[in-house]
Amino acid sequence: MPSKPAVLIAAYNADKTIERAVDSVLSSTEPCHIYIVDDGSRVPVRNILGRRAGEIEIIRLEKNRGPAAARNIGLTVILERDHDFVAILDADDAAYAARFEKQVNFLKQHPEVAAVGTWARLIDERTGATLLYSKKPTDAGAIQKKLFFNIAVIHPSAMFRADILRQVGPYSERYPAAEDYEFFRRIAAKFALANIPEYLLDYQVSWQGQSMARRRRQLYDRLRIQMKYFVPWQWRAWAGVAKTLLAFCVPTELSVRWKCALHGPFAGQHPANSPIR
């Protein structure tokens, strides 16, 4: 009998959202095994989930290690098991009921694809209002082209083949503001990526997460990753680096407002960590 797909959630002080994230997985049309890495949360995740905790494997870290390290600890456990597929979900997001079933079916039907993401609805953490419908390219070629500029798969929407994760290794902790981008660049260097053209994730735009103060660090990490995977005969590699360098010169508030105007109006103030990258 095929094993259930694993769903990995790294949680840090997600008191207000972790129940919704977990419930979204428990409501899935594809039965999944949930692994939560409690990354030194002020209130232990087990205490918040109560009875639900009996259906979930919770790994409690006594000290906060950060998302890359937390996910790596979870992956160490998961990859020792017989799971064929590993999905990512953030502790403040919610998967739609059909998400995991559709991703499992997609990966079974497309053996050449290492990981598949989905489109997402971006919602305001304070009001629950829809801010934006975020699309990413769907075919491997278009994703490869976009990766020269930035991330091309919404990370918490991704499902990976476990065998591929064993080959490429863990998340790098050298890029604390862009570890997901480096991870996808590393995978895409050898394997194909894809996105299902359906909205199967509610992505919460957090006002406390990736703050404006960290934007320069994110740009710095992105530039380092672009240089690491630089392909000199590809004009997009040069254009991607140029775009990142230019972003350093643009005031943060102006950049956020420009992105919001380009991709659609946000309600009220512009969130500090708009994930439109």
- Domain positions in the chain are 6-118+134-198, 212-263
Q: Topology of domain 6-118+134-198, per CATH? A: Spore Coat Polysaccharide Biosynthesis Protein SpsA; Chain A (3.90.550)
pLDDT at 193 over 70: yes
Q: What is the enclosing helix (H) or strand (E) of 193?
A: strand 192-205
pLDDT of residue 208: 54
Q: Residue 61: what are its φ and ψ, rounded to 5°?
A: -100, 130
pLDDT at 277 over 60: no
Q: How far apart are CA 121 and CA 131, in angstroms?
A: 8
Q: Residue 123: what are its φ and ψ, rounded to 5°?
A: -125, 150
For residues 218-242, give the mean pLDDT: 96
pLDDT at 163 over 50: yes
DSSP for residue 266? P
pLDDT of residue 78: 97
Q: Rounded to whole angstroms, what are the CA distances from 129 to 12, 118, 133, 155, 265?
A: 24, 20, 12, 21, 12
Lowest mean pLDDT among 50-59, 187-196, 215-224, 227-236: 50-59
User: Is residue 273 a contact partner of residue 207, using CB atoms and an 8 Å limit?
Assistant: yes
Q: Residue 130: what are its φ and ψ, rounded to 5°?
A: -75, 125
pLDDT at 44 over 70: yes
pLDDT higher for 277 or 58? 58
pLDDT averaged over the chain? 89
Q: How confident is the model at residue 108 (pLDDT cuts 50, 70, 90)?
A: very high
pLDDT at 268 over 50: no
CA 275 to chain CA mean position, Å: 10
pLDDT higher for 186 or 255? 186
Q: State the residue for tokens 């254009």.
A: 239
